[in-house]
Amino acid sequence: MNIFTQARRTLGQNDPNFGAPLDTTHGPILYVEGVTVSFDGFRALNNLNLYVDEGELRCIIGPNGAGKTTMMDVITGKTKPDSGSVYFGQQINLLELSEHQIARGGIGRKFQKPTIFEALTVYENLELATAADKRVWWTLTQSLNSSQRYRIDEVLVQIGLAELRHHNAGALSHGQKQWLEIGMLLMQKPRVLLVDEPVAGMTGEETEKTAELLVSLAGDQSVIVVEHDMKFVRSIARKVTVLHQGSVLTEGTMDQVQNDPKVIEVYLGE
Amino acid sequence: MLTQRLLLSDRGGMIVLGLIALTAVVVPILNLAVPAGSAFHVSTYTVTLLGKFLCYALLALSVDLIWGYAGILSLGHGAFFALGGYAMGMYLMRQIGDRGQYGNPELPDFMVFLNWDALPWYWQGFDMFWFAILMVLLVPAVLALVFGWLAFRSRVTGVYFAIITQALTYALMLAFFRNEMGFGGNNGLTDFKDILGFPITASSTRVTLFFMSAVMLILAYLACRYIVTSRMGRVIVSIRDAESRTRFCGYKVESYKLWLFVFSSILAGIAGALYVPQVGIINPGEFSPLNSIELVVWVATGGRGTLFGAIVGAFAVNYGKTIFTSWSPEAWLFVLGSLFVLVTLVLPKGLVGLVGRFKRNNNTPTDTPALKPAEETH
């Protein structure tokens, strides 16, 4: 990448979705504080506090019903909490924004089931997701500029699909589809990636590759992974948060967490 | 580079366009330059028939663009065709002047018959060719814009959209049947004399109209290719396959559908305008829901989602219809119905898909994707 594209990207001029640079001077990029969500009296989240640093790779585990999905829903604007606050950087109050604003603002979410455009090629899928002018006239008359195309090539390498770029996405394996969808999120230039059970249904080899991919993504963006597969979590985790009954049970390295008697009791002991 | 993108990467399209261009050149020569007695002479009847088919092909193209690529099934596209046809018909009516049966220089015969004493406001301006052409483009476009805006904004999709488009064309048919509408009622507009000063039944005029139809079809084809090979084309296909995901990628799905629908309606209008001077009549029957359904069958038969498939389908089904109706007219609807069922069950990709399957059986199967990379060609 030449110095100009690098400079442009740092300044965010390439992307209309990034206005002011995100204020992360205090460390965390995401602040979830005292969030409570109840559904018909059931507290899905109960005074949840979570801080995710910029560039961090965080794994979130917890038994079923611990509130993992609800937490993602709150961050991406799908569910509004009863109380508490959610900040993106120090300035942006996510509770005031709608889903697509949050998506455009830089929080990408990957759902459990891969959704890609099967009739298009791998390349075209990424092209579609590229942060560019998305109005009708521009998509009709303008093709992507060279730095955008360069970015697609970069992402293709990152997700390990460079050789399959002209293959139809519908013909990809389950794992490859998951990677392609992660790639599509990357094209939107997210600052935070929320990834829901990325290795469900994957083969051992695919799981390994996914682990590598997620580890390599952290640093440039914060990655939050919700996963059941403990072996997988162990292979990527630096810091693990255990949720239980809607709040944080404990936080720490995988070893600390695994040896925590509270955790053993509610989760690992099962 | 644009040629590569529009033509060279589209083998079937190149063949079909080549055939159309060849016909457009050869048929006029065989009609005008070869004496009528010769075995090579092409009769004016055949020229007009081919010209009609070209208009149908253009109409089929317009439906394929929205149905095959964006997944919007319109069962009322005949309405836009008919509106374009009526706009052209109104111009041709005004050209009759005082040569009508009642000899009124200002009013068309049917208005004299209804005892009207002045031209209604919406007939003003149609004595000018450029105005009529403008209306050919504008009237279908405005209707599509308003209708599409209401429908897409309310997220009406799939079978519901198909049903309301069917209702639209049916309502228009009933309206145009009424004499008080001022469009000739039941009889429609007919008895045309000349177009731009040329006698409308003369062979040379017929040949010119045929040639114009071929040129418009080719131009429309290239315009559609431009759309489907652009980034917009990819967005449209994504909308067809996963509408909500496309929205999630940051695209305003409604706008894409709306503008494509409007463009498609303009193509249909142009087809109607070229059709009317060749067949010499336009009546409310063109709004009939059955026409719109038939037109969907052409596209399905040819192969939706490939632009040239629509052209192939329009020619194949209409040629079949011409043969069949001269043999047993009553049975045609049954043939059409069973054709639709058969195509849906046996040939989901239409005739074009059949050719593709045949070719694959002959050649050794390859892993290379059928779609050429588009992004590196422009």
Both tokens of B166, joined, read: 């069917």
Q: Please report which residue ranges of A60-158 form alpha helices under DSSP H.
A: 68-75, 99-105, 122-129, 136-141, 146-158
Q: Where is average pLDDT lowest: A216-220, B175-179, B374-378?
A: B374-378
List the strands of the sheet with A247-252, edge to edge: A107-110, A192-196, A222-226, A57-61, A239-244, A247-252
pLDDT of the residue at A96 = 85
At residue B63 the predicted structure's pLDDT band, cuts being 50, 70 and 90, is very high
**What pLDDT does residue B366 have?**
39
B3-12, B183-192, B203-212: which range is least confident on average?
B3-12
Burial of A21 (0-12, 13-18, 19+ CB in 10 A): exposed
Cα torsion for A147, A153, A158, A161, to the nearest 10°?
160
Taking an 8 Å cut-off on Cβ atoms, the answer to whether A128 and B238 are in contact is: yes
Closest Cα in chain B, distance from residue A258 (Å)? 37
Alpha helices in B126-202 (DSSP H): 129-153, 158-177
Token pair for B287: 């709004």
Please, which pLDDT band fits residue A133 given cuts at 50, 70 and 90? confident
Q: How many CB atoms sit inside 10 A of residue B226's CB?
A: 16
Which of the residue ranges A78-82, B163-167, B204-208, B353-357 would you say has the lowest mean pLDDT? B353-357
**Which residue has 């255990």 as its token pair?**
A242
Predicted confidence band of residue A230 (pLDDT cuts 50, 70, 90)? confident
Q: What is the pLDDT of residue B365?
A: 40
Phi, psi (deg, nearest 5) at residue A47 = 50, 55
How crowded is residue A205: how many other Cβ atoms within 10 Å of its Cβ? 9
Torsion of CA A108, A111, A115, A121, to 10 degrees: 50
More confident residue, B319 or A259: B319
Q: How far is A253 from chain B (nearest CA, A)?
A: 34
Check residue A39 and give its pLDDT.
87
Q: Residue A42: what pLDDT?
A: 86
Does residue B170 register a pLDDT over 60? yes
pLDDT band of residue B356 (cuts 50, 70, 90) is: confident
Quick one: pLDDT at residue B140?
97
Residues from chain B that touch A165, judged by Cβ atoms under 8 A, are: 373
* Residue A267: pLDDT over 70: no
Q: Which of residues A141 and B288 earns the better pLDDT score?
A: B288
B118-124 long-range contacts (CB < 8 A, ≥24 apart) are: B120/B182, B122/B182, B123/B90, B123/B94, B123/B182
- Mean of pLDDT values over B126-131: 95
Determine whether the interchain pair A144/B231 forms a contact, defined as Cβ–Cβ distance below 8 Å: yes
Q: How many contacts (CB atoms, under 8 Å) link A and B? A: 81
Residue A122 forms contact with B (CB below 8 Å)? no
User: A20 or B100: which carries more pLDDT confidence?
Assistant: B100
What pLDDT, on a 0 to 100 scale, did the predictor assign at position A4? 52
Q: Which range, of A77-86, A95-104, B73-82, B335-344, averages the lowest pLDDT?
A: A95-104
What token pair was written down for B184? 């000739």
Asked if the Cβ–Cβ distance from A140 to B237 is below 8 Å, we say no
Closest CA to A194 of A37, A44, A56, A6: A56
Q: What is the pLDDT of residue B367?
A: 38
pLDDT single digits (tens) B88-97: 999 999 999 8
Compare B95 and A269 and report the one with higher pLDDT.
Answer: B95
Give percent of chain B with pLDDT exceeding 70.
Answer: 95
Closest Cβ–Cβ partner in A115, A119, A139 for B231: A139
Average pLDDT, whole number, for chain B?
A: 90
pLDDT tens digit sequence for A175-225: 899 999 999 988 888 889 999 888 888 888 888 888 888 888 888 889 999
Report how far residue B42's alpha carbon sits from residue B26's, in angstroms, rounded to the nearest whole number: 10
How many other CB atoms are there within 10 angstroms of residue B212's CB atom? 16
Q: Does A26 touch chain B (CB under 8 A)?
A: no
Confidence of residue A8 (pLDDT cuts 50, 70, 90): very low
Residues of A in contact with B377 (CB under 8 A): none
List residues of B whose CB lies inside 8 A of any A CB: 227, 230-232, 234-235, 237-238, 240-242, 245-252, 255-256, 259, 369, 371, 373-375, 378
pLDDT band at B317; cut points 50, 70, 90: very high
Which of these ranges, A187-196, B54-63, B132-141, has the smallest mean pLDDT?
A187-196
Q: Which two tokens stand for residue A152?
A: 């697609």
Structural contact between residues B120 and B182, judged by C-beta atoms closer than 8 angstroms: yes
- Please state, in angstroms and as integers, the Cα–Cα distance from residue B160 to each residue in A135, B148, B242, following that order: 26, 13, 18
- Report how far residue B341's alpha carbon sits from residue A186's, in angstroms, rounded to the nearest whole number: 44
SS3 content of chain A, % helix, strand, coil (to 5): 40, 25, 35
Q: What is the CA angle A56-A61-A64, rounded to 5?
A: 150
HSE of B25, CA atoms in CB hemisphere, 13 A: 5
**pLDDT tens per residue across span A71-105:** 998 998 888 899 999 999 888 888 888 777 787 78
* Across B41-51, average pLDDT: 93
Q: Around Cβ A38, how many Cβ atoms within 10 Å?
A: 14
Most confident of A89-93, B228-232, B347-351: B228-232
DSSP state of A21: P
Per-residue pLDDT, B186: 92
Confidence band for A269, pLDDT divided at 50, 70 and 90:
low
Total residues belonging to chain B:
378
Helix (H) or strand (E) holding A239: strand A239-244
Whole-Å CA distances, B244 to A215, B43, B253, B311: 29, 53, 9, 31
DSSP B315-376: HHHHHHHHHHHHH-GGGHHHHHHHHHHHHHHH-TTHHHHHHHHHHHHHSPP--S-SSPPSTT
Can you give the pLDDT at residue B370?
40
Angle at B356 between CA B354 and CA B358, to 5 degrees: 70
Tokens representing residue A184 in the block: 């599509």
Q: Which of A75-84, A111-120, B171-180, B212-221 has the lowest mean pLDDT?
A: A111-120
pLDDT at position A13, please?
Answer: 35
